[in-house]
Amino acid sequence: MIDIHSHILPGVDDGAKTIYNSIDMAKQAVSEGIHTIIATPHHRNGKYSNVKSDILPLVKEVNERFINEGINLEVLPGQECRIYGEILEDYHKGEILPLNHMSQYIFIEFPSSSVPRFAEQLLYDLQVEGLMPIIVHPERNAELMERPEKLYKLVQGGAATQLTASSLTGYFGKNIQKFSQQMIQANLTHFIASDAHNIHNRTFKMEEAMDFIEKKYGIDMVYYFTENAEMLVDGKNIYKEIPELIKKKKFLGIF
């Protein structure tokens, strides 16, 4: 299994603090059947800055350490970039790192409570440049939960999305779990990933999420998510189903 979103690099953000934390995370990942993981440290989120030139050598160093430790986990380079107006400009400067370095896929993170007004235009501009924006954990965004038609519009406009395994399995609460399921049912998501930060309270849950998907939606849906992760790593075009609007239940009453 491939995990396309993690904070396994040591000392760069709110994920692993030391190489020993990274090693512990790697062992846990392997125990869940993960053989390849993309390291996606936070970038430009108001607290952390991790440009391409800093990430690449650290990924190389971590891979060498895992080999020495006998851990069968390959780490690929990536970046979780908070949305901001100059992303394209900084991409051309060489600061923005697509997933697995040479692919067309780029992680875009929204603030947790809102969607910036310029988001739709920026996601379009990225696609014009030949990039494929992937909105990370949209199920945890308060505005998208309240107004799912906004998410539909972004996906219909060509953006992809990535659900967090822990959201789908209920670790972030029932409301986020419900919205995650609605996203799957409405073809509004294309990847499942861990967003793992440690081995304690922000763990992988990938195996549990895939078991949940198989039981609720069938094995074909498991293949859909696992194959999309493989195609992302290979730089190929992913599978996309036609997105649908999430229907909000209306309650009738006498007022």
pLDDT tens across 68-105, in order?
999 999 999 999 999 999 999 999 999 999 999 989 99
176 within some domain: yes
Q: 237-244: long-range contacts (C-beta < 8 A, 24 or more apart)?
A: 238/132, 238/160, 238/190, 239/190, 240/160, 240/187, 240/190, 241/187, 242/187, 243/152, 243/155, 243/156, 243/186, 243/187, 243/188, 244/152, 244/186, 244/187, 244/188
Output the CA–CA distances (angstroms, integers) from residue 167 to 26, 99, 164, in the order listed: 21, 22, 5
82 within some domain: yes
Q: Which helix (H) or strand (E) holds 134?
A: strand 132-136
Q: How far apart are CA 133 and CA 193, in angstroms?
A: 15
* 196 pLDDT above the threshold of 50: yes
Q: Which domain holds residue 185?
A: 2-234
Q: How far apart are CA 87 and CA 81, in angstroms?
A: 8
124 within some domain: yes
pLDDT of residue 253: 47
pLDDT tier at 252 (50, 70, 90 boundaries)? very low
Q: What is the mean pLDDT of residues 48-62?
A: 98
pLDDT of residue 249: 62
242 within some domain: no
Query: What total of structural domains would you count in the chain?
Result: 1
* 12 pLDDT above the threshold of 90: yes
Model confidence pLDDT, tens digit, residues 145-167:
999 999 999 999 999 999 999 99
pLDDT of residue 254: 46
CATH number for 219: 3.20.20.140
**Burial degree of 92 (CB within 10 A; 0-12, 13-18, 19+):** exposed
106 within some domain: yes
8 within some domain: yes
Q: What is the mean pLDDT of residues 227-245?
A: 98
pLDDT tier at 248 (50, 70, 90 boundaries)? confident
69 within some domain: yes
215 within some domain: yes
Model confidence pLDDT, tens digit, residues 134-146:
999 999 999 999 9
